[in-house]
């Protein structure tokens, strides 16, 4: 299942609570905090079993697209310039 392995080494989660807690909620938190994308999901049941996951993805309007990465001597100028050309960093190269 998507190549996911739980903490015990199993390739499937036996209960939805583990999948939700360790995969969906972690992904949602990381995507929403670190990208300009907004991510949410909804679980659907049929009877007592969950049967579907609907995923909602949209562009977050209030999040900046640029990362706060300043040039430092350990980063090569070429790497910094490549990030700048892609619009991922502000031009703070001195």
Domain range for 44 is 16-59
Residue 43 lies in a domain: yes
38 and 70 co-located in one domain: no
- Written as tens digits, the pLDDT of the chain (94 aa) is 455 666 777 777 778 888 899 889 999 998 888 888 888 999 999 999 999 999 999 987 776 655 555 656 666 777 767 777 776 666 655 5
Q: What is the pTM of this model?
A: 0.56
Q: Could you give the C-alpha distances from 89 to 3, 61, 77, in angstroms and in order?
A: 33, 18, 13
24 and 51 co-located in one domain: yes
Residue 4 lies in a domain: no
30 and 53 co-located in one domain: yes
33's enclosing H/E stretch is: helix 25-34
51 and 81 co-located in one domain: no
20 and 51 co-located in one domain: yes
Residue 3 lies in a domain: no
Domain count, the chain: 2
Whole-angstrom distance, CA of residue 6 vs CA of residue 29: 18
């Amino acid at each position: 299942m998507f190549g996911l392995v739980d903490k015990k080494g199993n390739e499937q989660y036996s209960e939805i609570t583990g999948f939700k807690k360790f995969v969906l909620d972690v992904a949602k938190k990381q995507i929403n905090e670190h990208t300009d994308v907004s991510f949410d999901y909804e679980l659907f049941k049929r009877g007592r079993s969950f049967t579907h996951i609907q995923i909602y993805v949209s562009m977050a309007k209030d999040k900046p697209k640029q990362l706060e990465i300043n040039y430092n001597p350990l980063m090569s100028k070429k790497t910094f310039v490549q990030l700048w050309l892609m619009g991922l960093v502000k031009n703070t190269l001195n």
